[in-house]
Structure 1
Amino acid sequence: MMIVRLPPPWALLHRPNTAVRVFSLLTSPPSTAVVYDEHGPPDAVCKVKELPPVRIKDDDVCVRLLAAPINPSDINRIQGVYPVRPPLPAVGGYEGVGEVHSIGSAVKGLSPGDWVIPSPPSSGTWQTYVVKDQNVWHKIEKSTPMEYAASITVNPLTALRMLEDFVDLKPGDAVVQNGATSIVGQCLVQLARVRGIRSINIIRDRAGSDEAKEKLINLGADQVFTESQLEVKNVKSLLADVPEPALGFNCVGGNAASLVLKFLKQGGTMVTYGGMSKKPITVSTSSFIFKDLSLRGFWLQKWMSSDKAKECRVMIDYLLSLARESKLTYEMELVAFNEFQSALDKALGKLGSQPKQVIKF
């Protein structure tokens, strides 16, 4: 009688032709994060919490955050009034810059130590470690000033797209804007100057307006007016050698928007990208009939969601190059992460006008 000995079951797992997939057990370090479990006032609902490690899959990149700004849109998301909001509970923040900490086995083109930004931006940047798919991250030059790398997308890219997308501007043309001291406003002044485009800028009447005028002129503004200076019948008499603008930008609404419209030439266009006054835009009938003005809107997140990732990154690299050459600057304050509450209070306007708050981790 012949006895046949079968190999033990586990031996089959080690046959030469058997493919065995080894699952990565790599995880991120624990993360300290600003988390909100419900929508409401940011200073009431945001809590600093410790989050457990996250598994790093084959295509994932774990990034140690270096810096992230507090933008008005971040605050609106937490308040629950922004059109697009992450599911709750959520980590705050939408843009930032970090250093690659570790990578999954299938990641190509990125290595530990590289600087990266989420591009297009991605929610959850107010934390010390973030794990996301490699396609989220865009490698940038490490010589870039950290605060500019952290904040280059939401505001500067808005300014660049609005200059490019609505009117075919030529060197020597002019634009007009309200809210000129905002970060987008400061960027518009400088990006227009790089292109040889003149800028007319409107600011609020407030203490320190003379200093604000001087800062804008130093950035390259051609003319700066307070709202009260424009309470004249013919604002175009104030233009001197600056041509009538074909394009205007509104981030305030109310009377400030009407002042932008007063400057626009026949067939001009006003683009609205914000409404800080929370007042509606009122347009006279004659502006539509006799001046044929156009009113448009711009929302960066919608623009970026329309398969613009590659184009977006080319423009980001351009903006970062301007920042490295000091041709694009704006006021910011780097604040340590353990002082987040103080930075949030400043961003909420509790302490009056403050520079852009950028958290340094």
Structure 2
Amino acid sequence: MAFRASAIRANRAIVYTQTGDPSQVLSALTYKPLPAPPAKTVNLRFLLAPINPADVNVIQGVYPAKPSLTELAENHSVFIGGNEGLAEITQVGSDVSGLTTGDWVVMTKAQAGTWASSRNVGSQDVLKLPRANGLTEVHGATMTVNPPTAYNMLNDFVKLEKDEWVVQNGANSAVGQAVIQIAASRGLRTLNLVRNRPDLADLTNKLKALGGTEVLTYDDLTDRTLTSTIIKDWTAGKGIRLGLNCVSGKDTTSMARLLGEDAYMVSYGAMSKEPLSLPTSLFIFKNLTTAGFWQSRWYKRHTREDKENLMKTLVDLVAQGKLKEPEYEIHSISSRDSDEVAGEKIRDTMARISRGQYGKKVLLKFDDAQ
């Protein structure tokens, strides 16, 4: 009976037809119930889907990954928002193996359009999420971007041993908090840099409760004793061999000076919207290596087995209590609202996000039709 109810449910998606300001171009669109899935596809019901900063950039038209037009209604092709989300399989095509009704899955295809109640997708574009004690819908919905980014940056560039240090900026971001927790699970120490703020003591306590070793502000980087004495004492003279950058600009230039010999600086963002500028001396005298990381590229270049192993590793950390849910707020798209009203609500949400009024991860949930 549960499947029959999902099969006749009216569907809705958050869509746009042209790039621009999300608070202006997004709308809600109701579309017909899904037919039975073709042979190599599955029908999905999305449980939760986050609004990530990259999603905003995609809608603005300034992100490298582009969505494809989807015909949700006759002669009505649209872009569906959302790259990440947790879905439940409601029906499986005849030529699909390894997946079954009721499985939780996440998307492996970039810009798949997760801001929708239900979708039909190719079975190769989803990955089954192992069930485990403690794994919540929030964990699942936020499992394919931030935790993998943190895990892969900690593993793919430098082989760090227990008690070695990692320095990162943007430490209170979703990726930063995942870095802290995953590093702590491996016995690594983290130096976490954040902006100075009135509630710095509370933020410091929060990051240390997650497993962070030290928390400093960018203002602290002006202290010359950091590099001459403090870092040497903390690292027993070994230096810091991995730096993670999501800010760029002058603060990252200062952070780079904390790195020791043969270190890597890995960049995965530029929140300051300023270029990354590094002294030539770091390359000559410390043999610094710089690299960029993009989780979407990782998915494209790795096998399905690699992706499955990554998800299993992260779910195991959740089951062990070593990877917590991000702080979140759920915004429901009510089936009782008209498309016009639902559209107004999502545009208001995006406007509030652009003004920085949410300090938590915003998750979209489509209420069942009545």
Q: TM-score, normalised by structure 2?
A: 0.85
Find the aligned partners of 1:53 and 1:307 in 2 and give their Cα distance: 34
Give the superposition deviation at 1:299: 1.0
- Residue in 2 aligned with 1:355? 360
Give the 5 Å matches for 1:1-80: 29-55=9-35, 56-80=37-61
> Does residue 1:275 correspond to 2:275, yes or no?
no
Q: Does the aligned pair in 2 maintain the 1:70–1:347 contact within 8 Å?
A: no
The higher radius of gyration belongs to 1
Find the aligned partners of 1:337 and 1:140 in 2 and give their Cα distance: 25
Give the superposition deviation at 1:137: 2.2
Find the aligned partners of 2:362 and 2:355 in 1 and give their Cα distance: 11
- Residue in 2 aligned with 1:161? 152
Give the superposition deviation at 1:121: 4.9
> Does residue 1:125 correspond to 2:117, yes or no?
no
Letter in 2 for 1:247: L
Letter in 2 for 1:91: I
Seen in structure 2, the aligned counterparts of structure 1 residues 141 and 292 have a Cα distance that, compared at 3 Å, is closer
Give the superposition deviation at 1:120: 4.8
Match of 1:209 among 184, 200, 209: 200
Letter in 1 for 2:81: G
SS in 1 for 2:15: strand
Most deviating of 192-201 and 102-111: 102-111
Find the aligned partners of 1:257 and 1:28 in 2 and give their Cα distance: 53
SS in 2 for 1:246: strand
- Give per-residue Cα distances to partners, 1:202-229, cap 9 Å, x unaligned: 0011232221111111111111101112
Seen in structure 2, the aligned counterparts of structure 1 residues 323 and 342 have a Cα distance that, compared at 3 Å, is farther
Seen in structure 2, the aligned counterparts of structure 1 residues 289 and 195 have a Cα distance that, compared at 3 Å, is same
Give the superposition deviation at 1:280: 0.9
- Residue in 1 aligned with 2:330? 334
Letter in 2 for 1:256: D
Give the superposition deviation at 1:74: 0.8
Match of 1:344 among 336, 344, 350: 350
Most deviating of 110-119 and 85-94: 110-119
Q: Does the aligned pair in 1 maintain the 2:146–2:174 contact within 8 Å?
A: yes
SS in 2 for 1:201: strand
Give the 5 Å matches for 1:182-221: 182-221=173-212
Greater than 6 Å deviation, 4+ residue runs: none
Could you tell me the percent identity over the aligned residues? 35
Q: Does the aligned pair in 2 maintain the 1:346–1:354 contact within 8 Å?
A: no
- Residue in 2 aligned with 1:15? none
Give the superposition deviation at 1:331: 2.0
- Residue in 1 aligned with 2:342? none
Q: Does the aligned pair in 1 maintain the 2:58–2:66 contact within 8 Å?
A: yes
The aligned length equals 334
Find the aligned partners of 1:262 and 1:296 in 2 and give their Cα distance: 16
- Give per-residue Cα distances to partners, 1:104-149, cap 9 Å, x unaligned: 2222232222222123555210000010112222222455200110
RMSD: 1.9
Find the aligned partners of 2:346 and 2:311 in 1 and give their Cα distance: 27
Q: Does the aligned pair in 2 maintain the 1:117–1:139 contact within 8 Å?
A: yes
Q: Does the aligned pair in 2 maintain the 1:41–1:78 contact within 8 Å?
A: yes
Q: Any unmatched runs of 5+ in structure 1?
A: 1-26
Q: Any unmatched runs of 5+ in structure 2?
A: 1-6, 70-77, 335-344
Q: Does the aligned pair in 2 maintain the 1:248–1:261 contact within 8 Å?
A: yes
Q: Does the aligned pair in 1 maintain the 2:51–2:82 contact within 8 Å?
A: yes
- Residue in 1 aligned with 2:73? none
Give the superposition deviation at 1:347: 3.3
> Does residue 1:241 correspond to 2:234, yes or no?
yes
Seen in structure 2, the aligned counterparts of structure 1 residues 303 and 141 have a Cα distance that, compared at 3 Å, is closer
- Residue in 2 aligned with 1:9? none
Q: Does the aligned pair in 2 maintain the 1:28–1:62 contact within 8 Å?
A: no
Letter in 2 for 1:357: V
Find the aligned partners of 2:283 and 2:363 in 1 and give their Cα distance: 42
> Does residue 1:177 correspond to 2:177, yes or no?
no
> Does residue 1:289 correspond to 2:280, yes or no?
no
Letter in 1 for 2:26: C
Structure with bigger RCO (C-alpha 8 Å, 6+ apart) = 2
Find the aligned partners of 1:196 and 1:357 in 2 and give their Cα distance: 31
Find the aligned partners of 2:209 and 2:235 in 1 and give their Cα distance: 17
